[in-house]
Structure 1
């Protein structure tokens, strides 16, 4: 989803007044992360979806926070969104963090009963990140929210529910 080419994404966004989404966001790159979160909130408010945000130090910690929340006594989430921005630097750290958070989200999708949406930007520089929070590459926060709503609806249909 690196371009605005997925025009079908914003078609048929389900109205899920009873849905609840937990967004897990990082402290790192807060200016960008806050724009991702704001885009998601905009969609959720328009669709009547309730939401909560949890903040973790960095992208590496996102999967742990999602897993811990899912196993907690907190209100059950219908979907999770992982929000982070990892910007390449001069060391291999970028590669390790990107792989760890990606693998973590994949693992959660295979083990939890709740969809986990990948809203982590993995970019070469800050300009590329800004292009993905309302710039020429769309708004990845809004896209993550739409994806969450569609996955909630699909999960419910597959399970024969509401």
Structure 2
């Protein structure tokens, strides 16, 4: 189902694991800041809502979505971090830059998750327009940050 037909803030919260003692890193790209800050806020609010202690959430910024992979690696290698949530937004432009960035970030985050055996969540929007990004950052389609946080919590349940 495409996100045009789904609210990203509506998901099953049945059987979520206890994450009251887990530590999360939330990495937020500065590029498209109006979007990424809304996504980051959604992720943090959702973590808190589901029992994560405020002092167990570390928020850091990276310049852009491309830098999320390195930032995730820095955070994932820390033994006191249980999961990493990578937040970014790459909007389709007149060039194919988004194809290269999105592919690199997706592969980079996957590599970090596998290397450190920790959930590293892809909370990166890849919309065609700024309006589509707004719609998914707390607008008519909910907030992808909410979904990313719930995904991190659910993935910790596998461990």
Contact residue 8 and residue 147 of structure 2 kept, 8 A: no
Give the stretch that moved more between structures: 140-149 or 43-52.
43-52
Match for residue 130 of structure 2?
Answer: 126
Return closer, same or farther for 1:133/1:103 CA change in 2, 3 Å cut-off. same
Return closer, same or farther for 1:118/1:44 CA change in 2, 3 Å cut-off. same
Unpaired runs of at least 5, structure 2: none
Deviation, 1:138, is 2.0
Aligned residue pairs: how many? Answer: 153
TM-score by length of 1: 0.86
Return closer, same or farther for 1:65/1:5 CA change in 2, 3 Å cut-off. closer
Please give the secondary structure, in 2, of the residue aligned with 1:10. coil
Contact residue 21 and residue 77 of structure 1 kept, 8 A: yes
Q: Does 1:115 align with 2:100?
A: no
Deviation, 1:124, is 0.5
TM-score by length of 2: 0.87
Match for residue 89 of structure 1?
Answer: 93
Q: Pairwise CA RMSD of aligned residues?
A: 1.9
Deviation, 1:43, is 1.2
Structure 2: distance between partners of 1:58 and 1:11: 34
Give the stretch that moved more between structures: 58-67 or 130-139.
130-139
Unpaired runs of at least 5, structure 1: 156-162
Contact residue 9 and residue 143 of structure 1 kept, 8 A: no
Return closer, same or farther for 1:130/1:18 CA change in 2, 3 Å cut-off. same
Please give the secondary structure, in 1, of the residue aligned with 2:58. strand
Match for residue 154 of structure 2?
Answer: 150
After superposing on structure 2, the runs of 4+ consecutive aligned residues of structure 1 that deviate more than 4 Å are 5-8
Q: Does 1:53 align with 2:53?
A: no
